Amino acid sequence: MNPIEEKLERCYADVKRSIDFTPRVAIVLGSGLGDYAETATVEAALPYSEIDGFPVSTVPGHKGRFLFGYVAGTPVVMMQGRVHYYEGYPMSDVVLPIRLMRRMGAEIVLLTNASGGVNAAFHAGDLMLITDQISSFVPSPLIGPNLEALGSRFPDMSHIYDPELCGLIREAAERLSIPLQEGVYLQLTGPAFETPAEIRMCRGLGADAVGMSTACEAVAANHMGMRVCGISCISNMASGMTETPLSHEEVQETADRVAPLFRKLVTETVRQLGACAGKRGEN
Ligand code: HPA
């Protein structure tokens, strides 16, 4: 067996030893959503450190554990804290949690993050439905021998963010009267914030928001046939768009300020996603 697949199976065996729970929806809680657990009915928590060989986040404000429970009656697994490529982990480790949540049974993944607004019409504190992405600046998690048990060598990425799920998120936002921007998320490696010239480049390439996570996770999830959707919290306007220097503290402060709305939108979204899980391939 390929070493990446072997590691996945070892981690899965560790999870199974600790908890017997089959999630339908996986949720990655990004900056500001870390305390989302308070909104969910949590049945069990599993610290990443208890899974042998599992990557553990070094970023302040990112806890590191899986939470198992229910959101609006749907069985979910939530990642409270993710690892980033800039922390030095190989890409196969960065997406290992996503692959593991698929292995646990999740069919849908909702990715959330904080990002810098590149679209001049955005404001710090906006929420953005991710409709597409640019991952070309970070290595693909699919490089290396193809993991045939997970997916095909050349997966189609033309609808990486599932159009039906995007529609559900739009409807959820409308129902809650939460204004929702839409756009393309571009992932850079970080960890430095971008220069104004880099942000102009991102805008020229068609990006609306820029961040240091998520796109690689969406590629790995899509490769495995998971249905992917995502919401980004525009925590700051990107470099060069305002006079203020960027800081992790600002990112966190804005994300925390928007968190109540973000939580509502996630709950309403998962209510809809729960009804959708298991539908792919059915007529
Ligand atoms: N750039 C990159 N990543 C980010 C930003 C940003 O401005 N804000 C939050 N994550």
pLDDT tens across 105-155, in order? 999 999 999 999 999 999 999 999 999 999 999 999 999 999 999 999 999
What does the alpha-carbon distance between residue 47 and residue 54 come to, in Å, rounded to a whole number? 10
> Do the domain assignments include residue 281?
no
**Does residue 61 carry a pLDDT above 60?**
no
Mind listing the pLDDT tens digit for each residue in 162-218? 999 999 999 999 999 999 999 999 999 999 999 999 999 999 999 999 999 999 999
User: Which residue among 82, 118, 193, 252 is best mutated to probe the pocket of ligand 1, counting the most ligand atoms within 8 A of its Cβ?
Assistant: 193
What does the alpha-carbon distance between residue 267 and residue 178 come to, in Å, rounded to a whole number? 13
Q: What kind and span of H or E run contains 26?
A: strand 25-29
Chain-wide mean pLDDT for the chain? 92
How many distinct structural domains can be found in the chain?
1
Residue closest via CA to ligand 1's atom 7 equals: 116
* Ligand 1 pocket, CB under 6 A: 114-116, 193-194, 210-212, 235-236, 238, 246, 251
Confirm if 46 and 19 have CB atoms less than 8 A apart: yes
Q: What's the whole-number mean pLDDT along residues 264-272?
A: 91
> Do the domain assignments include residue 79?
yes
Tell me the pLDDT band of 104, cut-offs 50, 70 and 90. Answer: very high
pLDDT of residue 281: 38
Contacts of 54 (CB under 8 A, 6+ apart): 11, 14, 48, 96, 97
pLDDT of residue 100: 97
Contacts of 76 (CB under 8 A, 6+ apart): 23, 24, 25, 26, 27, 40, 68, 69, 70, 106, 270
- Of the two residues 251 and 165, the one the predictor is more confident about is 165
- Of the two residues 224 and 255, the one the predictor is more confident about is 224
To which residue do tokens 């929702």 refer? 180
> Do the domain assignments include residue 282?
no
The two beta strands, 227-237 and 127-134, are antiparallel
Neighbours of 150 (CB within 10 A): 19
Mind listing the pLDDT tens digit for each residue in 4-25? 999 999 999 999 999 999 999 9
**Does residue 49 carry a pLDDT above 60?**
yes
Work out the angle between the directed axes of helices 248-276 and 163-175 (0-180°, nearest 10): 110
pLDDT of residue 276: 79
> Do the domain assignments include residue 125?
yes
**Does residue 282 carry a pLDDT above 50?**
no
CATH number at residue 214: 3.40.50.1580
**Does residue 257 carry a pLDDT above 90?**
no
What atom of ligand 1 comes closest to residue 246's alpha carbon?
A: 7
- Of the two residues 56 and 218, the one the predictor is more confident about is 218
Best CA proximity match to 110, nearest among 246, 263, 261, 254: 263
> Do the domain assignments include residue 283?
no
> Do the domain assignments include residue 255?
yes
- Of the two residues 128 and 35, the one the predictor is more confident about is 128
Confirm if 57 and 109 have CB atoms less than 8 A apart: no
What is the phi-psi region of residue 19: left when phi exceeds 0, alpha when psi lies from -120 to 50, beta otherwise? beta
Q: How far is CA 206 from CA 125, 133, 210, in A?
A: 21, 9, 11
> Do the domain assignments include residue 225?
yes
Cα of 234 vs centre of ligand 1, distance in Å, is 8
Burial 160-189 (b: 16+ CB within 10 A, else e): bbbeebbebbeebbeeeeeebbebbbbbbe
Amino acid at 27: I
Q: How far is CA 46 from CA 49, 56, 98, 136, 253, in A?
A: 8, 12, 15, 33, 27
What atom of ligand 1 comes closest to residue 238's alpha carbon?
A: 7
Residue closest via CA to ligand 1's atom 6 equals: 116
Neighbours of 97 (CB within 10 A): 25
Question: Which residues have a catalytic role annotated?
Answer: 31, 62, 84, 86-87, 114, 212-213, 236, 248
> Do the domain assignments include residue 111?
yes
DSSP per-residue string spanning 125-167: T-EEEEEEEE-TTS--TT-SS--TTT--SS---TTSS-HHHHH
Instruction: Print the domain residue range for 259.
Output: 3-276
Q: Please give the backbone phi and psi of residue 256, each rounded to the nearest 5 degrees, phi first.
A: -65, -40
